[in-house]
Amino acid sequence: MFTHFHWKPLFASESLPGWSFSFFFQKVYYTGIYHKDGGVEWTGPQPPEQYEKQVVSYIHELMLFHVYE
């Protein structure tokens, strides 16, 4: 579904929650912020409306795997 998914903490002190992420989906580059409550804030273009719910769900799964291993 995604290619080149990357994430990193928003703050130098990794104890503060919040992460930036980026990925390609359907040949478009997307960026955003993943909040500690699981919310997604887009900092670039948003995915098409028909895919947004699915994309946000997939971001949540990836962040749970990578951040909360």
For residues 69 and 33, the model is more confident at: 33
Distance CA 34, CA 19 (A): 5
- Cut 0.75: pTM above it: yes
pLDDT of 66 over the 80 cut? no
**What are the residue ranges spanned by the domains of the chain?**
3-67
Is 1 or 42 the better-scoring residue by pLDDT?
A: 42
Q: What's the burial of 59, exposed, middle or buried (CB within 10 Å: 0-12/13-18/19+)?
A: buried
Whole-number mean pLDDT of the chain? 89
Percent of the chain with pLDDT over 90: 67
